[in-house]
């Protein structure tokens, strides 16, 4: 399940841009690889992020994995529901399991990310 309306990173994050604000989360493939997620470290609202910088982590019963920002920008909202229900990332990674929203500093960075077809091919080549 790789939605066509999103862009993807090689680190298995997705981004959905709506105007100047983008929503970010981890892909279905990433949550499957991690297994049952037990904790999500969220960024601070107001944090300035560089493209590809780590902004938090996802902890599962198997491992802890850093999460990287697909684009540079400022964090404007976090999904605080994940504090009490990190399993939302497993259940609905592209919906209720979103992690943060940020303003997009450079729209050109979005166009450099993978399309759904490219990401599907990348995941296939990885395994």
Predicted local confidence at residue 126, as pLDDT: 75
Residue 115 has pLDDT above 90, yes or no: yes
pLDDT tens-digit profile of 40-90? 999 999 999 999 999 999 999 999 999 999 999 999 999 999 999 999 999
For 109, the domain range is 7-126
1 occurs within a structural domain = no
Question: Is 54 domain-assigned?
Answer: yes
**123 Cβ neighbours under 8 A, 6+ residues apart:** 2, 29
CATH number of domain containing 105: 2.40.50.100
pTM of the model: 0.96
The answer to whether position 78 is within a domain reads yes
Domain count for the chain, please give it: 1
* Local structure of 117: helix, strand or coil: helix
What is the distance between the alpha carbons of residues 105 and 9, in angstroms, rounded to a whole number?
17
Residue 2: inside a domain, yes or no? no
For residue 111, the surrounding DSSP H or E stretch is helix 107-111
């Amino acid at each position: 399940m790789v939605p066509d309306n999103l862009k993807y990173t090689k680190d298995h994050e997705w981004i959905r841009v709506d105007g100047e604000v983008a929503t970010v989360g981890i892909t279905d493939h990433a949550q499957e690889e991690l297994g049952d997620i037990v904790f999500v470290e969220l960024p601070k609202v107001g944090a300035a992020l560089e493209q590809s910088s780590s902004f938090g982590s996802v902890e599962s019963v198997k491992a802890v994995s850093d999460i990287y920002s697909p684009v540079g920008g400022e964090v404007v909202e976090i999904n605080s529901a994940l504090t009490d229900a990190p399993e939302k990332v497993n259940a609905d990674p592209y919906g209720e399991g979103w992690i943060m929203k940020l303003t997009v500093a450079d729209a050109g960075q979005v166009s450099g990310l993978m399309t759904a077809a490219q990401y599907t091919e990348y995941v296939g080549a990885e395994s």
